[in-house]
Structure 1
Amino acid sequence: MSEIITAIDDDSFTINNSNIYYDKCNIRVTANISGVTETKQLPCLFGYSFAERKDLSIISDMELICEKGPLRALGMSSFFLGQVIGAASLPAVSDRYGRRPVHLISHFCILVLGICSSFSPNYPVFLVMRFFIGIVHSHRKLFGFITNQFRVWGMVILAGLAYSLRDQSWRWVQLGVTSVCLPVLAEVVFLDETLRWLILHGRMDDIRKHLEKVARVNRVDKTHVLEVFSNIQEHHRSLLPMTLSFEVEPKTPASLSQDAPTPTLNVTHSLADLLKVKRLAINTIAMWYMWLSCSMILFGIYLTSDTLAASIYVNFFMVAIISCPSGIIFYFMIDRYGRKSTLMALCLLATGGLTVVTAIRILSANEGNAAIASTVFSCFGAMGIHEFMSTLFFYTPEIFPTTMRNVGLGSSAAIGRIGCILTPFIILMGDNIIWAPGVLLTVMSVITLVVIQVLPETKARELPQTLEDLKDWYRMTS
């Protein structure tokens, strides 16, 4: 009491009888001075008190509350910012030095950085660790039904892991999540470089060793395997970007120097080339927006799962597991009804779920039956947006010609990561206005329904190989 009055440093509050109120984020002192009620606010002089053990959450452990509340979003955004940088740099590194070393080094770095982040002494160190984890975080393109199911079950297992460690410090949860990278120690021994990369770079000795290892593991005559590969290489030489000379028996150094790979001309395009042709520019911008909105909605649903009816663990589990039936929808719709129709149906499902949840939070308190209804329709929204993302991965490469496919898909995925960076800050709006994030994400979903209309249908159509083919393709479809 005396320390609070001293901190006010105002004799008027000392002389008059003061009332002290301990609010959520500050200490409020009031006094009746000359018939007028005066109020002064102080920060929490003696620290914060928490309902649960302080180290259970990084938010309480590092006191990311009140005026430090916006810092919570930086932890997630720094990770996705690192992913944007990693997505822009690591593919080029893997093209130059090979998939295997980049894969192994990335996973080893995730393991080490994940352990280091578990012992972060303060929040700035934690942010730096998260940023570098994002850079080396491997991200495989999630095409089709099977790979989507692995992603879903990974999220389900994550919910179970978090629940099993619910009474432990957040540091143990971080270590548990990081432990999935431990198999990298076995990959150092058993994982080989991809055969395609070895072929593209003319690494004939490594190709021979690779094929001999495969033959040995499968108990097949290695001479036969080498002969089959040589025949395949001979018959499909025109499909390879360089001419390779492959013999069943190793050559001498002198003969190898005479048969050096002869590279062919590779046509590449920059990001600016996507915007030079009017129709391609429209499709590119439309695709960028769809990736942005889809990433924000999907990530936003996960981040707001703690506001649903059940516990945060059950909510997260439900939002993850709901993608199993939606994966079946994607699997059967994509070729039967086309890409655009599938996108429309899934976006309508997501938009409907978001609209109902947002309306519930605007019109009533998020309690009782309203909270249950909000949970149910959030699951519908999650079902739609999960498979909307899967369809985007499938559909985006078909929009761009072969020579621009990598830059088209890469730039779209990067825009999606930018959406993930922004989402935590949008969710913070819900601390003051619970329905504000829902309104923004719903509006973005509605706009996505309109944007889909400008894109072409690629079902059962020969895809363009070059920019000139693309121009002809658009002329035939206009």
Structure 2
Amino acid sequence: MADTNMPDFEPVIEYLGLKGRYQGVQAVLQVLGIYCLSFAVLIGVFTGYEPAHECNAVNVTEMRDLFSVPDNASLEASYGKCAVTLVVNDSAAVTTHTMSCVNGHNYFGNKYISFTSEMDLVCDRTGLGDLSQTLLMLGQGIGGFIFTSLADRFGRKPIYVFTSFGMTILHILIGVAPEIGSLTLFRFLIGGFQQGVCLSSLTLFLEMMSPRHRMLGSVVCGTLWSTSVLTLGLLAWLLRYHSWRTLQLIMTATTSYCVLLPWLLMESPRWLACNNRADEALEIFRKWCEQNGKDFAHVKSLFDKNVVEKLRVKKMLEEREGEEKPELHVEKYTILDLFKHKQIALTSFVLAFVWVTNGVTYFGLILTSSSLAGDRFVNFLLSGLAEWPSHSVAYFMLRRMKRRLIETIFLVLSGVCLITSVLLLLSPEQEASTASIVFSLLGKFSITGAFNALYLLTPELFPTNLRSIGLGWSSALSRFGGMVAPYSRFLAEKAVYGPGTIFGCMCLISALLIRLLPETRGRPLPNSIQEMKAWRSEKPGIRKKETCIDHAFIVPPESKRDVEDTETHNYRYSLVET
């Protein structure tokens, strides 16, 4: 049963509404954090780009002495990407000698176009640049764990302000890094700070909304991400003849809004009230009413009745729980419980593979966009443009179709498009090359839609006390996919069709595995492992008219429409882990 003593902010938020000057200012400050997220993660596509290169010329006279070439023999040198080949031709025989690029590499006048070329991270050092991208993804995982806890303890605003300033400083430090060691360290740190900005800004954004608007908020967040991808591609194209450090330092401007946050950004009233700071929360609501022309007396009445009083009763019951309610027992779970029960273990392993597939495919397609036929800047821009409408399409599908079906459709479409793109790459025709790019972009569109559906499906599959753990496990594995994705570039260099084949097959396998999971649309969220097990024995299509619970509020579904609307309540889990 639901705990009727849980604080209910929804009457207050519903009365204040979605539109108004206060929400406008706060939303802009919050979504600026969301908008800057892709720059830190994806800028390596351009700053770490490996341009065409060959070995610098060697002194042929010195080579004669080094290899004891007779005076009557000719000596010619040919220069490859990673080796110099010397051909000795005398009257007796033709011999060859191979050596490394002893005089460095020639980047055809573009040495400072990326840190890869400036720091000579090619040939035997070629993995160091991609290692910095992998460690950035690792930093995201660690930062997400650390800053989530800090935001719950110290508040959303302090963490948002701190990590935004941190990202600004790290953009500068990366732009002036003298060598690969310090650059890798700074990129690792910016990955962690990026997650701090992500989690705190998204949480602030969601906690300002009523439940029925949160799925719409997810579309806004996804569209902002895709818009920032397009912005990054455009900036990189405009600065294509400049040093990579110029583009990196310009990224400082994308987070410079942080100077406004300490003065203009407000803390989440929800967090304040739940942390014994109800007076501060009420003061924020007072400013909210003043700026929007709302009745503060009415808001205070709703706040006192639905929040303050329930918090007081809840605290009193918690203090007396040991004496008066010995029969109450709340089961505590750990990540090990994901694998103790057959059905939950199956769900966990299936989701693990699907999340890895989504992560490696999404980031792999972005990071290998420069290996596609045509201009690398155009390919990146088209890649960002392809995912832009995907968020809206996924939104409308999620409101009308089954979760599992939507995920299957997007995964199958992505797999088929990527494999078709690979087959077209094998054709020598120019038209086939263009068509290959089109199908690759359709694959990007589809995997973005799959991510949208997966973020909603995952938390709906786990019982209440395992929900955050289950989503955290799944999200962490998507980071693993992102860590592996940078190395797909090496495969693309050896076999241009390699990444697309792997991504496409993984998508098709995931589409088959997702059918092993139960459908969640129209069902109340499971509150226990027993309820989750019972799903298998229920007939498909039956909807239980029970009270749907989302931790902090209760909405009794009196109609089919209400049941569908309550599904949006749980969507906040997806956004907090993006």
TM-score by length of 1: 0.88
Note the 1:398-477 alignment, pairs <5 A: 398-476=460-538
- Offset, 1:224: 4.4
1:270 aligns with 2:334: yes
2:383 equivalent in structure 1? 319
2:306 alignment partner, SS class:
helix
For residues 37 and 27 of structure 1, the distance between their equivalents in structure 2, rounded to whole angstroms, comes to 16
Of residues 29, 40, 48 in structure 1, which corresponds to 2:86? 29
1:333 equivalent in structure 2? 397
Cα deviation, 1:406-443, whole Å, max 9, x if unaligned, reads: 11111111100110100111221111222222222122
For residues 193 and 388 of structure 1, the distance between their equivalents in structure 2, rounded to whole angstroms, comes to 33
- Offset, 1:234: 5.9
Mark the CA change 1:115 to 1:397 in structure 2 (over 3 Å): closer, same or farther. same
Mark the CA change 1:340 to 1:260 in structure 2 (over 3 Å): closer, same or farther. closer
- Offset, 1:294: 0.8
1:204 equivalent in structure 2? 278
For residues 291 and 350 of structure 2, the distance between their equivalents in structure 1, rounded to whole angstroms, comes to 48
Note the 1:39-188 alignment, pairs <5 A: 39-138=96-195, 139-140=198-199, 144-188=218-262
- Offset, 1:8: 7.4
Q: Which amino acid aligns with 1:364?
A: S
Of residues 354, 358, 364 in structure 1, which corresponds to 2:427? 364
- Offset, 1:268: 4.2
1:12 equivalent in structure 2? 68
1:337 alignment partner, SS class:
coil
2:388 alignment partner, SS class:
helix
RMSD (CA atoms) = 2.7
Q: Is the deviation greater in 424-433 or in 121-130?
A: 424-433
TM-score by length of 2: 0.74
Q: Which amino acid aligns with 2:338?
A: L
For residues 11 and 428 of structure 1, the distance between their equivalents in structure 2, rounded to whole angstroms, comes to 33
Contact 2:64 2:75 in 1 (8 A): no
1:53 alignment partner, SS class:
coil
Contact 1:8 1:40 in 2 (8 A): no
Q: Can you give the 5+ residue segments of structure 1 that lack an aligned partner in the other structure?
A: 245-258
2:20 equivalent in structure 1? none
Contact 1:29 1:39 in 2 (8 A): yes
Contact 1:343 1:391 in 2 (8 A): yes
1:353 aligns with 2:417: yes
2:69 alignment partner, SS class:
helix
For residues 222 and 67 of structure 2, the distance between their equivalents in structure 1, rounded to whole angstroms, comes to 67
- Offset, 1:32: 4.2
Cα deviation, 1:287-320, whole Å, max 9, x if unaligned, reads: 1111100111111111222233432222111111
- Offset, 1:7: 5.7
1:232 aligns with 2:306: yes
Contact 1:55 1:169 in 2 (8 A): yes
Mark the CA change 1:336 to 1:263 in structure 2 (over 3 Å): closer, same or farther. farther
Mark the CA change 1:234 to 1:181 in structure 2 (over 3 Å): closer, same or farther. closer
Mark the CA change 1:131 to 1:333 in structure 2 (over 3 Å): closer, same or farther. same
Q: Can you give the 5+ residue segments of structure 2 that lack an aligned partner in the other structure?
A: 1-56, 203-213, 322-328, 541-578
Q: Name the count of aligned residue pairs.
A: 459
Q: Is the deviation greater in 33-42 or in 198-207?
A: 33-42
- Offset, 1:452: 1.0
- Offset, 1:260: 12
Q: Is the deviation greater in 159-168 or in 467-476?
A: 467-476
1:307 equivalent in structure 2? 371
Q: Is the deviation greater in 43-52 or in 437-446?
A: 43-52
Q: Is the deviation greater in 299-308 or in 118-127?
A: 299-308
Note the 1:227-306 alignment, pairs <5 A: 227-233=301-307, 237=310, 243=314, 262=319, 268-306=332-370
For residues 140 and 65 of structure 2, the distance between their equivalents in structure 1, rounded to whole angstroms, comes to 49
Contact 1:243 1:263 in 2 (8 A): no
For residues 83 and 161 of structure 1, the distance between their equivalents in structure 2, rounded to whole angstroms, comes to 24
- Offset, 1:278: 0.6
Mark the CA change 1:458 to 1:317 in structure 2 (over 3 Å): closer, same or farther. same
Contact 2:338 2:344 in 1 (8 A): yes
1:384 equivalent in structure 2? 446
Of residues 269, 273, 292 in structure 2, which corresponds to 1:218? 292
Contact 1:19 1:30 in 2 (8 A): yes
Cα deviation, 1:171-194, whole Å, max 9, x if unaligned, reads: 111122332111111111111221
For residues 460 and 19 of structure 1, the distance between their equivalents in structure 2, rounded to whole angstroms, comes to 75
1:13 alignment partner, SS class:
coil
1:243 alignment partner, SS class:
helix
For residues 521 and 289 of structure 2, the distance between their equivalents in structure 1, rounded to whole angstroms, comes to 39
Contact 1:402 1:466 in 2 (8 A): yes
Q: Is the deviation greater in 393-402 or in 22-31?
A: 22-31
For residues 84 and 403 of structure 1, the distance between their equivalents in structure 2, rounded to whole angstroms, comes to 22
Contact 1:5 1:14 in 2 (8 A): no
Contact 2:518 2:535 in 1 (8 A): no
For residues 86 and 156 of structure 2, the distance between their equivalents in structure 1, rounded to whole angstroms, comes to 63
- Offset, 1:124: 1.3
